[in-house]
Amino acid sequence: MCSFSCQVRRRSSVALSPFLLLGACLLMSQPSRAVDWSTLFTAQDVRDHLSTEKGRAEALEFCRKMGISKVYVETFRDGYQADAPALKTARDFFRQAGLKVSGCVTTTGVGKVSTGWEVAVCYTNRKNQDRLESIFRFTAGIFDEIMIDDFFFTECECSECAAAKGSLSWRQYREKLMLEMSRDRVLGPARQVNPNVKIILKYPQWYDGFQDRGYIVDKETALFDRIWVGTELRDPSSDEWGHKQQYEGYFIYRWLTDIGGAKTGGGWFDPFGTNPTIYLDQALVTVLAGAPETFLFHYGSLISPEYKAQAEAFAARRPEFEDLAKLVSGWGGLLTYKPPSSEPGNEQFIFDQIGMLAIPLAPMARFPERARAALFTAHSLEDTEFVPKLVGFLNAGGTAFLSEGLAHRLNGDPRLPSPDSLELLKGKYLLTVKEGNGRFVVFSDALPRLTYVDAQNRVAQPTSDQREALTELRKVVEEFTVTSPDAPPRVAVFPLGSRVAVVNFTELPVSCKLLGLGGMVSRLKKVFATSGASLAADGATLRLPPHALLMVEQ
């Protein structure tokens, strides 16, 4: 049964199951895990929770309950610097308890505030620069590894910034400024104090806005020792949080892994804008994306009455995530081009929506040169050599899936092999155009939008034309990767080597099949299932309750 109707949100928290707790005890005897859990004690947590013996004992108990094996102890946040003796006592306490310990810095409240988003500061201001440097010198004197939370950006347009920018564009100036700050005020001084220090830059989950705020993921990743990935999800119906799709955490993790390779250390999420169900979705997508460590932000919030239910839900489900992590590798899907610092045009976060159409994506920061097929959106135009590369790709027989926004901008470009129009006619959702030895498959932006959850927590019913177009689109996708012929919008497919995981992010039960597995075997085998998910007796139909995962193989 594939239902497209209105969603009903589950609000209740997940109860602690004795069976799962038993599972947790058994797992503790195993030598290694495929995913480690960590948490943060913010500078304020250090002051409020780690400055007494009782507070530290409670914090350790929390870590044991959550399976946390590494803690980050923060020196600075929101203008407050924790005391050195309190930081050192906390550091030594956790080390003696057998946990790994690192430091953290959040660059908020450093001094003169940005004229834009007020959580950021002005980095042109000399006093701010000096303060930034002193925070990192202080932290490097206590810790050998320092995480930087995702406020290390700028969008300041104050008179100092305007003068310093000169004839550069804001974007060029911000890039230059943040690279200078990274080199001269963070990495250099910290390494001077502690030659062994490793510094991690954590990127926020808003990847389609990096270019406007001076996050330069290729150049900064090259500079820093390691990177971390924000895989935060929010209630998809929330106006406040921008109607986030669950696929976003997966997409950004895989994209930044393409850039960072072995430097990509883990994912990071928090309980804000979630209920326990969405909170667990974050863990699910972070594990599916392959994060070797998952950072649970942060102790003070996770023990608060507001978010305690999220932490308890996680503690109950943790063994399941650890089992899943052992099965995750070989990430596949349609190669998808998202150059660093690329402008989304009117297709902001479109990848997250496409992923929720059971069309799996394998993001790349470089043009997918020799691929048989790839997905291109307005983001591709950031690459000034994009069209010549695309012509080469088509002449080699490639299939280029084009978003409507990109097709509109490519239409009439004399460099393309065929003069045929790439514009979708009114009421049409799919268009195939032969180009050179290959083809364009243009899909309407109305198809990805089918995954949108409105503020009343409803999902629109696709029209019969839209349903037909989605089926046709998936038939082409099937030639290159795994998809589903009949899954409703808000179901995601994750090809993992010879295995495939399917997750139902709708609020109703879903039954669906898979296409594109290849081979002669007609019956699937169940590899892993979260509670309630099953493979039907026909060996082909996947049955998934809301927010459940089923992994199968041939």
The binding site for Zn ion (CB under 5 A) comprises 122, 124, 156, 158, 160-161
CB of 113 to Zn ion, least distance (A): 9
Nearest to 378 by CA among 155, 170, 208: 208
Indicate the pairing of strand 80-81 with strand 68-77: antiparallel
- Separation between Cα atoms, residue 111 and residue 151, nearest integer Å: 14
Nearest to 181 by CA among 144, 157, 152: 152
Identify which of residues 4 and 170 has a Cβ nearer to Zn ion in the complex. Answer: 170
- The residues near 306 (Cβ < 8 Å, ≥ 6 apart) are 271
| CB 442 within 8 Å of CB 411 | no
CB of 127 to Zn ion, least distance (A): 12
CB of 114 to Zn ion, least distance (A): 7
CB of 104 to Zn ion, least distance (A): 25
Beta-carbon count within 10 A of 416 CB: 19
Q: Both tokens of residue 150? A: 């995702």
| CB 517 within 8 Å of CB 552 | no
Identify which of residues 174 and 234 has a Cβ nearer to Zn ion in the complex. Answer: 174
| CA within 13 Å, CB half, 428 | 12
Nearest to 98 by CA among 171, 28, 177: 28
Identify which of residues 170 and 241 has a Cβ nearer to Zn ion in the complex. Answer: 170
Identify which of residues 20 and 158 has a Cβ nearer to Zn ion in the complex. Answer: 158
Identify which of residues 111 and 300 has a Cβ nearer to Zn ion in the complex. Answer: 111
CB of 124 to Zn ion, least distance (A): 5
Q: State how far the alpha carbon of 192 is from the alpha carbons of 135, 136, 183, 203, in Å.
A: 13, 10, 12, 25
- Separation between Cα atoms, residue 547 and residue 526, nearest integer Å: 17
Cα dihedral 516→522→523→529 (10° resolution): 0
| CB 534 within 8 Å of CB 543 | yes
CB of 154 to Zn ion, least distance (A): 7
β-bridge partners, 245: none
- Cα-trace Rg, the chain: 24
Identify which of residues 156 and 313 has a Cβ nearer to Zn ion in the complex. Answer: 156
CB of 76 to Zn ion, least distance (A): 20
Identify which of residues 172 and 421 has a Cβ nearer to Zn ion in the complex. Answer: 172
CB of 180 to Zn ion, least distance (A): 14
Identify which of residues 122 and 328 has a Cβ nearer to Zn ion in the complex. Answer: 122
- Separation between Cα atoms, residue 181 and residue 132, nearest integer Å: 9
- Separation between Cα atoms, residue 282 and residue 276, nearest integer Å: 10
CB of 120 to Zn ion, least distance (A): 10
Identify which of residues 156 and 283 has a Cβ nearer to Zn ion in the complex. Answer: 156
Greatest CA separation found in the chain? 75
